[in-house]
A and B are shown apart, each in its own frame.
Chain A
């Protein structure tokens, strides 16, 4: 097992772990925007940066993004060296200039001593921090209906050609994962809309509640061995049915 030193504390790291995990294990908190337990690390927000060095490096240290840096044996990590603190502040300052009105960004900035951005605030404020979580979760489920488009200051998340994305199944995973809740959607018992695309809902044959879109049901039909009949009932009704079955079984066993 690899042993590292995080802010002076010895920590043991799981094989294959990245630094960020080990840092959190050591009880040290780091701000992050693009990291998510269910997704591969991406290194997009640059907030998780730290200094790493080794005894044999003679005092030389390098700054790395901890979410993507393997927790190798013998690494000495500092999350609070002056240059790391300063660089993290620059990243937050820039982020606040991009998203001056976004509560989450304002809070992160304030937590690091920034009340107001020292840059020119974005004349067209946006809540999107370009963390890439939405596009990555959509890739992860195997749909890839949205992606980042353009580059530099004009970069944004969008469906192809800025039109209703043909591949989108309306699962809302992108909207749910968005840290600033900036992907608009509507959902009701009959209809759902997201990214300018409208979806019809599938109703539970037991309780009548709408629980997924027709496109979602079609997408999962036959995939990973899910039979079409799986979507006849909603999760709640499935749970209830299962609980009833268990209680029947245990009642039988008790006799």
Chain B
């Protein structure tokens, strides 16, 4: 596990303001924290535990249970390639290979400039569009390896502004 340095506490305070301070808020708070920091920093988890009066062990349990949460720092943009059955059959493997060729990262890895994290996901429920590639919030359907560069650039472009 990565050792994670102290994060900026400001976003977390704003998040805690928005939710009732009770155990039932835990998942929503974690989702907001994940959105704000792109991952769940451990010192933030400890503070969430205190604020909601939930044992840290419980918070860690929930944080490690859901695939949508990461405890390791992630890239600014998350790339998700669907490897569900339909996407697999229609060539998601080549899409991954192409991303790896362009960015030098495999599934689960992050580029050294913290720009991108590549993840594989199972069926995102859009099989008719297989293979599906999601870059940031942008969903691309019927992706061919040749289209990968454009999809990645679009996102990089957006970041530049």
Asked if A pairs with B, the answer is: yes
A interface with B by C-beta (< 8 Å): 135, 143-151, 158-162, 165-167
**Is there contact, CB below 8 Å, between B1 and A147?**
no
Is residue B59 within 8 Å, beta carbon to beta carbon, of the partner chain?
yes
| Contacts A147-B61, A151-B64, A161-B1 known; 9 new A-B pairs at CB < 8 A | A145-B55, A145-B57, A147-B55, A147-B57, A147-B58, A149-B64, A150-B65, A151-B67, A167-B55
Complex partner residue of B60 from A143, A147, A151, CB under 8 angstroms: A147
A159 to B1 CA separation, bound complex (whole angstroms): 14
User: Which residue in chain B gives the minimum CB-CB distance to A165?
Assistant: B57
Hey, which chain A residues are within 8 Å of B45, CB to CB?
160
**Is there contact, CB below 8 Å, between B65 and A160?**
no
Q: Kindly count the residue-residue contacts between A and B in the assembled complex, taking CB atoms under 8 Å apart.
A: 39
- Min Cβ gap B4→A in Å is 9
Known A150-B65, A161-B42; contact A167-B60, beta-carbon cutoff 8 A: no
Is residue B103 within 8 Å, beta carbon to beta carbon, of the partner chain?
no
User: Which residue in chain B gives the minimum CB-CB distance to A168?
Assistant: B57
**CB neighbors of A among B48-105 (8 A):** 55-61, 64-65, 67
Complex partner residue of B65 from A151, A162, A166, CB under 8 angstroms: A151
Hey, which chain A residues are within 8 Å of B65, CB to CB?
149-151
- Min Cβ gap A131→B in Å is 16
Known A162-B1, A166-B56; contact A149-B42, beta-carbon cutoff 8 A: no
